[in-house]
Amino acid sequence: MKVTLKNVTKKFGSTVAVNDFSATFPDGHLICLLGPSGCGKSTVLNILCGILDVTSGQVFFDDDDVTSLSPEQRNIGMVFQNYALYPHLTVLENIAFPLEVQKVNKKIRIEKAKEIAELVHVENLLHRFPGELSGGQQQRVAIARALIKNPKLLLMDEPLSNLDARLRLEMREEIRRIQIETGVTTIFVTHDQDEAMSISDSIILMKDGVLAQEGLCTELYNQPNSKFVADFLGNPPINVIEGYLEKNKFIFDDNSGSIFLENMTDLNMPNMTKLFENKKLTLAIRPESFILDKIISKDDTDKYDKNLFQVLSVFKQTREELAHIKIGTKELSIFLPDDSGVKKYDKVVLSVKQKGCFIFNAQTGERLKW
Ligand code: ATP
């Protein structure tokens, strides 16, 4: 089922939780609603399931306007962070519970519960109580319970937050497998960008109740339309420096240094100068967008006047090295190839790749494209 929100606004008194929000969730897709705390993700979910009414705007399931329908009339499955299982019921009874409420015949609901238990791999735990299950197992039961009514839409609100790191990874894959097997349109709320990137077909990134950008994870990462989007995605975060441009030289706002963007050849063109002239800009460079040109011995430092960075620290990671470097007053994080030979206190000459390097209007945060 396709889900559409059309110009939805939700106010709580003077707080605008969701502001003129329009989005489409295609049939059979898993879409992540991502964004910082308080940006309106849970409000959107609660509007979709009918717990909250809208201040203005409309909600459509396929072509049907469901804005005024009650939660019971919407046939939605919900999974929460805290599992919300009934402690006094067994796994089988928990999974079958929604059908019991609907007064489905006992034999049929047990059959159906066993079938769903197999789908989520808890068929061997049917007679245990929630207190006798691990966090991951409890979440599997909660997912089974949400799916037993064959919902048209599955809403998941930070379902993995209570699990330890390893189990989170396992359950991400499991949720994706179950979603693909059932084909149910799923909206998954998280503030964890890695989770969103790994699990979803696409992402809707929210900020202050509005849609900041939507698209494939790689699109948002590689083509952010604003400083907020560039900054929100990426770990370590993108390096951000305020300043201004002179052709392809980005000069820091405190004049403590500059970075040559030699690979951005377009910046040399005359019309570019006009576009950027006298503008306060924000330069943002992803940590993986630096190329190590040279490691400089102490005596040679004077020979290099461009993009000479001081190395503050180098940390070995599994597949690369993460270094903190300084130029002028600015400290940046960069990835270097494994065994780069770079050490603390070295000086290095770096160039900047075009991919992963962005320029934003410093006032509006909007990306400048050329
Ligand atoms: P989190 O990731 O922390 O759960 P969120 O993105 O889900 O945050 P919401 O819970 O949707 O954000 O809240 C959006 C805004 O609306 C916040 O400013 C919040 O304080 C406000 N808000 C949410 N529910 C209510 C309410 N019942 N009454 C008043 N304000 C509310």
Whose CA is closest to atom 27 on ligand 1? Answer: 12
**Mean pLDDT, range 327-338, rounded to an integer:** 94
Say if residue 93's pLDDT is above 80: yes
Distance in Å, CA 28 to ligand 1 centroid: 27
For 171-229, the three-class secondary structure string (H helix, E strand, C coil) is: HHHHHHHHHHHHCCEEEEEECCHHHHHHHCCEEEEEECCEEEEEECHHHHHHCCCEHHH
pLDDT per residue over 197-233, tens digit each? Answer: 889 999 999 999 999 999 998 999 999 999 999 999 9
Nearest protein Cα to ligand 1, atom 20? 38
Mutation choice for ligand 1 from 11, 43, 188, CB with most ligand atoms inside 8 A: 43
Under the banding of pLDDT at 50, 70 and 90, the label for residue 191 is confident
Q: Report the nearest atom of ligand 1 relative to the CA of 35.
A: 6
pLDDT tens digits, 133-157? 998 899 999 999 999 989 999 999 9
Distance from residue 88's CA to the centre of ligand 1 (Å):
31
Please tell me the distance between residue 42's alpha carbon and the centre of ligand 1 in angstroms. Answer: 7
Name the residue with the closest Cα to ligand 1, atom 16: 17
Q: How far is CA 63 from the centre of its chain?
A: 28
Q: Whose Cα sits closest to atom 30 in ligand 1?
A: 12
* Atom in ligand 1 nearest the alpha carbon of residue 43: 11
Residue 229 CA to residue 323 CA, distance in Å, equals 23
pLDDT at 127: 96
CA 43 to centroid of ligand 1, rounded, Å: 6
Rg from Cα positions in the chain:
25
Q: Average pLDDT, whole number, for the chain?
A: 91
CB neighbour burial string for 211-250, b if at least 16 within 10 angstroms, e if fewer: bbbbbebeebbeebbbbbbbbbbbeeebbbbebbbeebeb
Name the residue at shortest CA distance from atom 15 of ligand 1. 17
Give residue ranges with CB within 6 A of ligand 1.
12, 15, 17, 35, 37-43, 191
Report the pLDDT value the prediction gives residue 21, as an integer from 0 to 100: 97
Question: How many A from CA of 83 to the centre of ligand 1?
Answer: 20
If you average pLDDT over residues 118-127, what whole number do you get? 93
> Which of 10, 19, 34, 42 is the best mutation target for the ligand 1 pocket, counting ligand atoms within 8 Å of the beta carbon and taking the most?
42
Identify the band that residue 303 occupies on the pLDDT scale cut at 50, 70 and 90. Answer: low
How far does the centroid of ligand 1 lie from the alpha carbon of residue 3, in Å? Answer: 22
Nearest atom in ligand 1 to the alpha carbon of residue 209 is: 14
